Amino acid sequence: MSRPAATLVLADGTTFEGYAAGYLPEGGVTTGEFVFNTALSGYQEVITDPSYAGQVITFTYPHIGNYGVTPLDDEAARPWCRGVVVRELAARRSNWRSVEDLETFLVRHRVPAIVGVDTRRLTRHLRSHGALAGAFGAGDRDSVSAAARTATGTDGQDYVTAVTTPSTYTRGAGDRHVVAYDYGVKETMVAQLARRFRVTVVPAGTSAEEVRSLRPDGVFLSNGPGDPAALVTHVDEIGRLVGTVPIFGICLGHQLLATALGARTFKLPFGHHGSNHPVQDLASGRVEITAQNHNYAVSPDSLERAVISHVNLNDGVIEGLSSRAERCFSVQYHPEAGPGPHDARYLFERFDHLLSGHWESM
């Protein structure tokens, strides 16, 4: 396939050559914050994860698209990422579940891509210099460079308002009722909750008073994109719920719960994005291989009303918190694992135990 030449330029001026693929935007240039994901498979789930809003995903695995895509693997109704960077985009799909190829999917959802890039070099640069804003596209190099210089990252950005559900909906038919805040929730996350509970998914801006009026047995705080420090209003509403109802938070939900409990967050150099991060449960000593997708973390010296329950064995980052007194807990990683290992799905059972009033490890 003949593709137009394209250029990728980071905010620090570092330049990469490639070819334009996927959707070609008007003007030919796309901007965003560049991050890398180390998962070996699950590219469709990664691309459709709303937590990537505002970001350009670099896949470290060199061969992407070989098994096509299927609606069954969508984590949201549409991708929210700004674009994708791939070494080699497979032209042929080979899987009985596939209904279309990845590039057709990208075009249909208006997601630009750049292929043929030395993704190993790009990943090493991001590891050394941190996640960087930048631009890519088939426009002339000066235009791409100019766009890169003015591109912005995720600091101070509220992307939750864009990705949250516009209206309340329900799933599942369990005996216990859980209200789930949608900050950018993944379909697999909702499915795991719905296997155990009757779930009411509400928009991110729903007030604590409105949640209490639904008479939930528990409240769930989902994953989502952007900077948790920019979501002051959401933290305030969570603070009004803490101590009144059991709460379970994941990823952004973990950060927001921690903030409501008095902690602070900070931005990691290049974040955790992939499905092979080792995490230790400090209570049991058990090590789990986990799926992760976050650029921010909770500062350990800021904890006031919770204890650390899990840590990342690669860099020591806090991966979980709990408070027996407040009847709440949270994890930074993704126990629903779409894609990724299922080592941590026991946490949904832990939430069920908490709602039953006898979570022994709280």
Domain boundary among 107, 128, 150: 150
Q: Are residues 169 and 32 in the same domain?
A: no
* pLDDT tens sequence across 159-180: 999 999 999 999 999 899 999 9
C-beta of residue 87 within 8 angstroms of C-beta of residue 121? no
The answer to whether 40 and 63 are in contact (CB under 8 A) is no
Residue 362 maps to a domain: no
Residues 183 and 122 in one domain: no
Q: Residue 328 forms beta bridges with which residues?
A: 247, 323
Tokens representing residue 227 in the block = 């900077």
| Residues carrying an active site annotation | 251, 334, 336
Give Cα separations from 6 to 118, 138, 299 (angstroms).
Answer: 13, 4, 39
Give this prediction's pTM: 0.96
Whether residues 174 and 225 share a domain: the answer is yes
Q: Say what the pLDDT of residue 359 is.
A: 59
Q: Is 340 helix (H, G, I), strand (E, B) or coil?
A: coil
Q: Are residues 278 and 323 in the same domain?
A: yes
Same domain, 196 and 297: yes
Quick one: average pLDDT of 78-99? 96
Do 142 and 169 fall within a single domain? no
Amino acid at 54: G
Instruction: Assess whether 122 and 34 both reside in one domain.
Output: yes
- Residue 81 within any structural domain of the chain: yes
Residue 38 located in a structural domain: yes
- Which range (50-59, 140-149, 338-347) has the least confidence? 338-347
Boundaries of domain holding 287? 160-356
Task: Give yes or no: residues 256 and 135 share one domain.
Answer: no
Q: Residue 26 has what pLDDT?
A: 86
Model pLDDT for residues 299-339, shown as the tens digit of each residue: 999 998 999 999 999 999 999 999 999 999 999 999 999 89
Nearest-angstrom CA–CA distance, 2 and 161: 39
Contact 179/203 with Cβ under 8 angstroms? no
Q: Please indicate, yes or no, whether residues 145 and 166 belong to a single structural domain of this protein.
A: no
* Number of domains the chain is built from: 2
User: Mean pLDDT throughout 193-198?
Assistant: 96
Q: Are residues 169 and 263 in the same domain?
A: yes
Lowest average pLDDT, out of 138-142, 241-245, 256-260, goes to 138-142
**Residues 126 and 263 occupy one common structural domain:** no
Residue 60's identity, in one-letter code, is T
Do 105 and 167 have their domain in common?
A: no
The SS3 of residue 265 is strand
